[in-house]
């Protein structure tokens, strides 16, 4: 049949074993969930015998019919036929989709579970009406026999589905709840295809108030999340660039945003001094108990991977900032150096949203590799400017954020606009922590310009690079460069005539 899945579908997969002993009946629980916003129901009762399964199916099916909600049976075609369900959902080890279609006929819905690109393509070819992609994360509701996909794995499947002639609905399943549904739903999209919905089990089946919980989950699907604020970036002329950059720097001085650093001990002092010099306020706190409170008052969060910490706890801090729309900046220091660091980068990409990712070419290549980029990341020449621009643009498009590749020529991209910034001095490479402190500067700029992150990133790169050039004039070497650099940041950070004169002295920014 031609089944059009509703946008932002909330899909309930039942498991009566999760209901408390004092809970209402399964059908009453499902009805309340439907009243809260559930759009599609699948009866999954792996431990029920045929007679019990049919009895439950009749009762739950009647509730779904009452509310005009499609009702599917997990795996059991015989049960679906017995109760005239709206369709069946099958896994890779269940009855083939083509045979299910023969038995059910053209008027029924067939969903197929998929864990790989190959499985997804085959299911579409075999006539599936929608795909259940997963598991996204670990889940306790069933024993996993397939690897978890994370956001990057889901996005890779969606990107391939986009290329097929026949388009079908898509939902994700596996470890999804109120803490991650909005991020998975809104960040796994590709340019031409986005998820149609999310399937949940335990978050609704264990709830004592399924109507309220369903309403909350539905809101997370339909409402634009705070971290995906609309951007107002446009191609900047030289005059616009100067005015915009000056305004952003001046705003830092006026607002003095608090920048929460999760960074390594080697650079804390330098990063704090850089943050103070440009007019912002640093705090170096790794106390998980105050993460929520800091998110309410800070301007941005900087996550530096130089000193690896508990990635799960860090993601909770990131989520607290995401919920409030506070910019989160990620510096994947040494991200490609070891297997452990590469896996940590992937964990962060699958469990967190970053407004900006900054690193050198090797680090950004490592991020792109962990993000399952479709292009051959390893074949890119980091010394080639056009390759670095392509890498930044492709990764920004994939992740829906800003990507900065630092180097002799810095590259910044939001996926639509890409610019090269030629400012700085070689002494920056001779000082420990100069790259980390660039992250502090970028964080302060994004904190005061959350609706134009691209211009904010440009402003940070320009301030940092031009201050380095000014400091190098009087420096005798790296040792004397550091205090001169702090002074130069201080003098340029008001965005005044001295900074504007340095910015206008030559062509520094090129849009490509």
Q: What is the pLDDT of residues 389-404, one digit of tens each?
A: 999 999 999 999 999 9
| Residues contacting 205, CB < 8 A, separation 6+ | 14, 15, 16, 18, 19, 29
CA dist., res. 83 & res. 74, Å (int): 13
Whether the upstream peptide bond of residue 135 has omega within 30° of 0, thus cis, is yes
The predicted model scores a pTM of: 0.88
Q: How far apart are CA 452 and CA 450, in angstroms?
A: 6
| 258-262 β-sheet, strand order | 281-284, 258-262, 300-304, 328-331, 356-360, 402-406, 410-413, 418-421, 509-511
Name the residue among 225, 226, 231 with its Cα closest to residue 452.
231
Place of tokens 């053209």: 106
Q: Outline where 256-290 has alpha helix (H).
A: 268-277
Instruction: Name the region of 372 (left: φ>0; alpha: ψ -120 to 50; beta: rest).
Output: left
Radius of gyration of the chain (CA): 26
Asked if residue 328 lies in contact with residue 299, where contact means CB atoms within 8 angstroms, the answer is: no
Nearest to 404 by CA among 441, 433, 372, 349: 441
CB 125 within 8 A of CB 155: no
Closest CA to 259 of 284, 241, 237, 230: 284
Residues 6+ apart with CB under 8 A from 407: 360, 361, 388
Total Cβ atoms within 10 A of residue 359: 25
pLDDT value at residue 1:
55
**Using CA atoms, how far apart are residues 19 and 29, in angstroms rounded to an integer?**
9
CATH fold match for the domains 9-222 and 238-371+379-511: no
Q: Which of 97, 389, 436, 445 is catalytic?
A: 436
Stretch 2-7: mean pLDDT: 86
Per-residue confidence at 374, pLDDT binned at 50, 70, 90? Answer: very low
Residue whose C-alpha is closest to residue 119's, from 151, 97, 100, 148: 97
Break the chain into its structural domains and give their ranges.
Answer: 9-222, 238-371+379-511
Place of tokens 């705003």: 251
> What sign does the CA torsion over 131, 135, 141, 142 have?
positive
The mean per-residue pLDDT over the stretch 120-139 comes to: 95
Q: Which of 113, 154, 121 is nearest to 137 (CA)?
A: 154
Other Cβ atoms within 10 Å of 267 Cβ, number: 26
Q: Do 160 and 121 meet the contact criterion of CB atoms below 8 Å apart?
A: yes
Residues 164 and 121 sit within 8 Å (Cβ to Cβ): yes
3-state secondary structure of 139: coil
110 has which bridge partners? 88
The DSSP letter of residue 9 is E
Strand partners, 72: 42, 87
436 carries an active-site annotation = yes
Average pLDDT of the residues in 197-203:
96
Residues near 384 by beta carbon (within 8 Å), at least 6 away in sequence: none
List pLDDT tens digits, range 44-64.
988 889 999 999 999 999 999
CA distances from 140 to 112, 143, 202, 350, 451 (A): 21, 7, 8, 19, 39
Give the model's confidence band at 239: pLDDT under 50 very low, under 70 low, under 90 confident, else very high: confident
E-only strand ranges, 174-253: 197-200
Question: Taking a C-beta distance cutoff of 8 angstroms, is the pair 151, 182 a contact?
Answer: no
Model pLDDT for residues 139-171, shown as the tens digit of each residue:
876 676 789 999 989 999 999 999 999 999 999
pLDDT of residue 369: 82
Mean confidence (pLDDT) of the chain: 92
Q: Is 238-371+379-511 assigned to CATH 3.40.430.10?
A: no
pLDDT of 375 > 70? The answer is: no
491 forms beta bridges with none
Chain length of the chain: 512
**CA–CA distance, 71 with 65 (Å, rounded to integer):** 8
- How far from the centroid of its chain's Cα atoms is residue 382's Cα? 25
CATH fourth-level superfamily of 9-222: Aldolase class I (3.20.20.70)
Which of 1-10, 196-205, 323-332, 448-457 is least confident? 1-10
Q: State the Cα–Cα distance between residues 295 and 286, nearest whole angstrom.
A: 13
What is the rounded CA–CA span in Å between residue 424 and residue 439?
A: 15
- Parallel, antiparallel or unpaired: strands 130-133 and 71-74: unpaired
Output the CA–CA distances (angstroms, integers) from residue 215 to 13, 34, 195, 313, in the order listed: 16, 9, 19, 27
With b meaning 16 or more CB within 10 Å and e meaning fewer, what string describes 234-243?
Answer: eebeeeebbe
Q: Tens digits of per-residue pLDDT, 166-191? A: 999 999 999 999 989 999 998 898 87
């Amino acid at each position: 049949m031609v089944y059009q899945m509703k946008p932002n579908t909330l899909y309930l997969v039942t498991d009566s074993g999760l209901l408390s002993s004092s809970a209402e009946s399964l059908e009453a629980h499902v009805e309340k969930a439907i009243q809260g916003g559930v759009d599609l129901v699948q009866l999954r009762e792996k431990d029920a015998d045929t007679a019990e399964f049919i009895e439950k199916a009749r009762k739950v099916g009647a509730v779904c019919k009452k509310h005009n909600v499609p009702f599917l049976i997990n795996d059991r075609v015989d049960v679906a036929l017995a109760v005239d369900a709206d369709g069946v959902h099958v896994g890779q080890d269940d009855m083939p989709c083509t045979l299910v279609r023969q038995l059910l006929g053209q008027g029924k819905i067939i969903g197929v579970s998929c864990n790989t690109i190959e499985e997804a393509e085959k299911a579409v070819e075999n006539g599936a009406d929608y795909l259940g992609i997963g598991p996204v994360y670990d889940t306790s509701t069933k024993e996993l026999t397939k690897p978890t996909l994370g956001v990057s794995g889901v996005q890779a499947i969606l990107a391939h589905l986009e290329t097929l002639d026949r388009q079908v609905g898509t939902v994700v399943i596996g470890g999804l709840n109120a803490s991650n549904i909005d991020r998975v739903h809104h960040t796994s999209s590709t340019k031409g295809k986005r998820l149609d919905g999310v399937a949940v089990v335990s978050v609704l089946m264990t709830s004592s108030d399924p109507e309220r919980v369903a309403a909350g989950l539905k809101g997370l699907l339909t409402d634009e999340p705070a971290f995906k604020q609309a951007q107002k970036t446009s191609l900047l002329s030289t005059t616009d660039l100067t005015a915009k950059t000056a305004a952003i720097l001046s705003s830092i001085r006026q607002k003095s945003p608090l920048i929460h650093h999760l960074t390594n001990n080697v650079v804390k002092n330098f990063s704090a001094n850089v943050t103070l010099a440009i007019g912002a306020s640093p705090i170096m706190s790794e106390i998980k108990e105050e993460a929520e409170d800091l998110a309410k008052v800070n301007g941005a969060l900087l996550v530096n991977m130089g000193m690896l910490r508990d990635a799960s706890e860090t993601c909770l801090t990131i989520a607290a900032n995401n919920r409030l729309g506070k910019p989160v900046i990620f510096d994947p220091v040494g991200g490609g150096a070891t297997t452990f660091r590469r896996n940590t980068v992937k964990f962060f990409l699958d469990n967190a949203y970053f407004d900006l990712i900054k690193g050198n070419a090797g680090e950004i290549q490592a991020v792109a590799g962990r993000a399952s980029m479709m292009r051959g990341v390893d074949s890119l020449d980091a010394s080639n400017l056009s390759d670095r621009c392509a890498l930044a643009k492709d990764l920004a498009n994939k992740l829906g954020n800003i990507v900065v590749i630092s180097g002799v020529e810095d590259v910044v991209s939001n996926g639509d606009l890409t610019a090269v910034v030629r400012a700085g001095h070689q002494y920056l490479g001779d000082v420990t922590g100069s790259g980390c402190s660039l992250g502090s500067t970028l964080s302060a700029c994004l904190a005061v310009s959350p609706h134009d992150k691209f211009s904010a990133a440009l402003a940070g790169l320009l301030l940092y690079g031009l201050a380095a050039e000014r400091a190098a004039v009087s420096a005798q070497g790296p040792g004397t460069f550091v205090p001169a650099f702090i002074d130069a940041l201080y003098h340029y950070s008001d965005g005044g005539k001295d900074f504007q004169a340095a910015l206008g002295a030559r062509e520094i920014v090129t849009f490509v």
